[in-house]
Amino acid sequence: MSELIHQKALFAMTLPIVVSARRRAPVIAVAAALAIAAIGGAARATSGPAVADFKLANGLEVVVLPDHRAPVVTHMIWYKVGAADETPGKSGLAHYLEHLMFKGTQKNPGDTFSQAVAAIGGQENAFTASDYTGFFQRVPREHLKEMMAFEADRMTGLVLTDAVARPELSVVLEELNMRVANNPGAQLAEQMDASLYLNHPYHRPVIGWRHEVEKLNYEDALAFYQRFYSPNNAVVVVAGDVTPAEVKADAEATYGKVADRTAGGPRQRPTEPIQDAPRRVTLADPRVEQPSVSRYYLAPSSTTAKPGESEALEVLANVLSGANGRLYRTLVLDKGVALNAGAFYSDTALDYGKFGVFAAPKPGVKLQTVEAALDSVLQDVIAHGITADELDRAKTDLVADAVYAQDNQATLARWYGAGLATGETVDQIRAWPDDVRAVTADAVRDAARHWLDVRRSVTGYLVKNLQPEENRS
C-alpha cells in the first residue's frame, strides 16, 4: 500500500502508514499519511526540476533535486522494506525497528544524531509504510554531509539491547492505542484491508496486530535490521540548494564507505487469488458520531498496471471526487442523501493498489440508501463513461497539482523516494504529467468496467450501534 492517497480523499484511514511521533505533537496514523507524503497520482513531480540519478559502487541509489530558492536541503533515505516484508506472526516489526533506529550506534550513542539536528535548527522524523521505511532531515545546506555521515553510520551500526528496546515497545503500544484503539474509523480500515487482501501481506496493518506487537523484542528487530538495512536496498533523495556534483562527492565520502550486506534482488511476496465474492464489514462503536459507508476495490498499482491504466484510474477518481465530482453532485446536491461523498485511488505501491469510494449519510438516511446511490453513480460511469468536459477538467486538475507541488522541495523528495522504493524509475515519475495528458475517455471507461468489479471489493459500514438491517456482514 502506498503512503498516501489522493489529497482530495475524505478518509485518510484508507492507507496504512505510521509516522513517528517523537519530538513533536502526536499525529493520528491515518491522518499522518496526509502530512508525510502526498504520493497519489495527482501529486507527481513534473519535468520541471533537473533531476540527477546515480548509483554508488555499493549499490546505493542517489537522486538529486536541485532547488536554489533557499539555502536549505531535505535529505531522505528510503529503505525498500516495510510491513509487507515482515515475517508472518511478527506484524509491526518494521515500525518497531523504525523507532529503534533512533537509539544510537557505537560511534554516535543515544540521541547524539537527534541532538545534532536540533542544534542546527533542523527538523527530522521517520515513517513506515507497507513497502518502505524512511528517515529524513531538513537542515541548512552546509550540514548535508554531516547528515549523510550520521545516516551512513546507523545504516549498519545500530546497537540494540533489551534495556534499550523494551521501553520503546511500550511507546509503540501506546501509539497503537492512540492511532487505532481510540479511532473506530481506523479499526474499520484495518478490518477492510484484512478482507480486501486475501493472501497478500498488505492485509496486515503497518502498526501491527496488538497481540503480535506485544511479543516483539530487540532480537526480532536486530535480525530484521541485519536482513534489510543495506546500501544496495536503499535510495537517498536530496532536494534543495545543492548541485549533483556536491551530493555525489558527499555521498561517496559517507555512504560509499558502507559495505552492502544483503543479496538484493526483487521482493517475492504471495499474490492474490482470483476473487469471486464481495465482502462486507460492519464496525459498531458507541464513539461513532458520523456513520459512513466506504468500499475498497482491488486495483493495480502504478508499478503493476498496464501502460496508461493507473493514469486512467487516477482520472476516474478525480472525476468522481471533489465538490464538482459526480459523487458529491449526485449524493449531496441532487439527491440530498449524503453530507459528503468522494473517491480515491491509491497507486504508489510495489504490488497492488486500491480504488475507493465513500459517503457520509445525512441524519435519518440509511446507509443502504447511500450505498445504493453510490452504486448508481458507478454503474452509470461503467455503462456510459465520462464526458469530454469531465475528462479535460480532471486532466487539467491533476497536471496542475503536479506543477504547483514543485514549490515544496520536501514534497518532491517524498514523491521521488516513494516511487523509487516501489519499483518506478526516475523517468517514469517525470513522465507522469504527459501520461495523464494522454488518457482518453475510452480508457477511463474501460478501467472502470474492469476494476470496479464488486467481486473484488469489500464494503464497510461504520455505525454507532448495530441495527438489524446493518448486521449484514
Residue of 115, 109, 136 whose CA lies nearest to 125: 136
Are 86 and 204 spatial neighbours (Cβ–Cβ below 8 Å)? yes
Residue of 358, 45, 55, 432 whose CA lies nearest to 236: 55
Q: Which residues are catalytic?
A: 98
Q: What does the block give as the cell for 254? A: 559517507
CA separation for the pair 17, 395 (Å, rounded): 28
CB atoms within 10 A of CB 191: 18
- C-alpha to C-alpha distances, 244 to 52, 160, 231, 280, 439, nearest whole angstrom: 6, 35, 19, 51, 34
Are 49 and 310 spatial neighbours (Cβ–Cβ below 8 Å)? no
CA separation for the pair 55, 403 (Å, rounded): 27
Phi/psi of residue 262, nearest 5 degrees: -125, 160
Phi/psi of residue 133, nearest 5 degrees: -130, 135
CB atoms within 10 A of CB 304: 17
Name the pairing type of β-strands 457-463 and 279-284. parallel
198: Cβ contacts below 8 Å, ≥ 6 apart: 272, 273, 275
Q: What does the block give as the cell for 112? A: 547524539
Maximum Cα–Cα distance for the chain, whole Å?
67
Are 360 and 284 spatial neighbours (Cβ–Cβ below 8 Å)? no
Are 197 and 272 spatial neighbours (Cβ–Cβ below 8 Å)? yes
357 has which bridge partners? 295, 343
